A and B are shown apart, each in its own frame.
Chain A
Amino acid sequence: MVDLSIRIKDLVFKNPVLTASGTCGFGEEIADFVDLSKLGGVVMKGTTLKPRQGNDYPRMAETPSGMLNAVGLQNKGVDNFEKNIYPNIKDIDSQFIVNVNGSTIEEYVELTERINALDKIPAIELNISCPNVKEGGMAFGVSCPSAEAVVRAVRKVYDKPLIVKLSPNVTDITEIARAVEGQGADAVSLVNTFLGMAVDANSRKPVLSTITGGLSGPAIKPIALRMVWQVYNSVKIPIVGMGGIMNATDAIEFMIAGASAVQVGTAIFIDPTIPVQIVDGINNYLELNKIQNASDLVGCLQI
């Protein structure tokens, strides 16, 4: 028997596989396909204080080994979350994490306070990296002072594990990681999507209503892996790695590069059973290689 559990601060995940925000709704949407209690955690759809309609259609473009999205944080707001979502998920035996978004620091703080009051939400993922909103989002995550400011403010009102989701659309992601670590982040998750673009040669128009969008899928995996490895060598807090993970081998590579846990995102669109397959695959890998603990894999890259 291997031990798949991993830890972020004092929070124990039964295994290192989480679903990524924006790819699994609030968990319920994929419950037909998988037993949610088999997942290490579920990072739910990005939530804001007030409901958001998101961007206009079209919001998606298929690209080689990936896709662009420009959803723009469509969600029904925190009132709806408290009333209609939280009661359904609070007793599921997994870690349900709220992905917290805002246009201003005040909004981030107010939303965090609301989530802090929900006993069964054990952690938040602070999203300072959404590339598809006009205000807030990635704007906070691309400079050290603004990333520090929002993490500092949220940290003051939140005692549970605080995971900060980083943007890869920066010159040096390790600077931002160190900056948020310095303000008390308990972990960083990386990477959010890469800013990209698709053009329709026939109409000579952009494919997305927003012109640019966020690239995800296997196309970004090598870059995400490199960033995880760089950040692993720069900070002491745990890393939740993501970017194009499609199978257990991909997930294991992220762990070897330094991720304590992984998030599976775009792969869910292709097959919502993939996250649970990855849990089984990591288990098999550890048994086969006679590794006792999943945490022993973290950062074991041999150079």
Chain B
Amino acid sequence: MKKTVEELLLIKNTQLNHDNFRLDLKSSTKLPQIFPGQFVNVEIKKSTEIFLRRPFSVLDVDYENNTFSLLVKILGRGSNVLTTYQAGDKISVIYPLGSSFSIPGKDEKVLLIGGGSGVAPMLFLAKICGLDPQNVHVLLGARSKQDHVDITAYKHVGNFYHTTEDGSLGEKGFVTHHPVFKSELTAFDRIYTCGPDLMMKAVAKEAAKNQVSCEVSLENMMACGFGVCLCCVEKTIEGNQCVCTDGPVFNINKLTW
């Protein structure tokens, strides 16, 4: 898919909880096809402190209206300023970027594990993977109930499970403590995960041990997003590779974790 630099119209900025926002962006032309796991690199112009674009994975796409949405969690000064944008503002993005999650076979059973803003590509994947919702299991982890991102539009796409570190929603503990992960892991054909590094590494370790195929989406810091700055590299069995072009989605058998 051809990558472009485009000025998009922000049509809606919705606060989802204390630090997560959903930004709906509209293109004046036909949207390129965007696959789950791919990302867009967003220019943030309202602050002189911010020089580089910020990458965000896509939460949902509506080709009929040429809109897509991003889940923006406030992590630093870039995301913080981006959440102050209002409907009507123009936002320059470079997109679509990076690799996507593999699409499962039609009778496969999949487990999608999202943590923090990593829930965005998991929900998008769950929605368009083409599986019977019975075979789609989505496990979302958060620190506590107030950190959980509740996206009601996605309720029908699969079976949902939650963990929180303080037990305020779902099972208490990390995603790897949840029964669906602990006792049923080998029942899944594929595991997909996106979220904090430590979480993904813990998931990947168990998946590898149980020989279940596992894909992770990495978030290494990058300057360009299209494979020229060579800053976002991850060590792989084939040497250093760019997260922005060889990833962000990697099968764990390619990584040196």
Complex contact B51–A272 (CB within 8 A) = no
Looking at B62-70, B148-156, B221-229, the stretch in contact with chain A turns out to be: B221-229
Chain B residues touching A, range: 20 to 34
Q: A29-B226, A64-B51, A271-B5 are in contact. Are A69 and B231 (CB under 8 A)?
A: yes
Q: Is the CB of A63 within 8 A of B228?
A: no
**If A23-B229, A33-B5, A71-B231 touch, does A54 touch B240 (CB 8 Å cutoff)?**
yes
Quick check: is B58 within 8 A (CB to CB) of the other chain?
no
Question: Closest approach, in angstroms, between the C-beta of B4 and any C-beta of chain A?
Answer: 7
B175 on the A face (CB < 8 A)? no
Size band of the A side of the interface?
20 to 34
| A272 with B226, Cβ < 8 A, contacts A33-B4, A33-B5 known | yes
For A25, A60, A65, which residue has the most chain B Cβ atoms within 10 angstroms?
A: A60
Q: Which residues of B contact A60 (CB under 8 A)?
A: 221-223, 229, 231-232
Binding site for A on B (CB under 8 A): 2-5, 43, 48-53, 92, 94, 220-224, 226-235, 239-240
Are the C-beta atoms of B240 and A53 separated by less than 8 Å? yes
Q: A54-B240, A67-B51, A272-B226 are in contact. List 10 more A-B contacts (CB 8 A).
A: A29-B228, A33-B4, A51-B239, A54-B233, A57-B233, A58-B220, A63-B51, A66-B51, A271-B92, A272-B5
0/1 interface trace, chain A 43-87, chain B, CB 8 Å (1 if under): 001000001011001111011111101010010000000000000
Most A C-beta atoms less than 10 A away, residue of B226, B231, B235: B231
Q: Which residue of A lies closest to B52 (CB)?
A: A62
| B49 and A54 within 8 A (CB) | no
Within the complex, what minimum Cβ distance (angstroms) separates A17 from chain B?
17
Cβ-defined contact, A33 with B3, below 8 A: yes
Q: Which residues of A contact B5 (CB under 8 A)?
A: 33, 271-273
**Chain A residues, Cβ within 8 Å of B230:** 22, 45, 54, 59, 71, 74
Across the two chains, which residue of chain A brings its CB closest to B222? A60
Partner of A29, one of B52, B53, B227: B227
Contact: B231 with A65, CB < 8 Å?
no
> How near does chain A come to B153, taking the closest CB pair, in angstroms?
32
Q: Which 10 A-B pairs have the closest CB atoms?
A: A60-B231, A269-B224, A269-B223, A32-B3, A25-B228, A59-B231, A71-B230, A29-B227, A29-B228, A32-B2
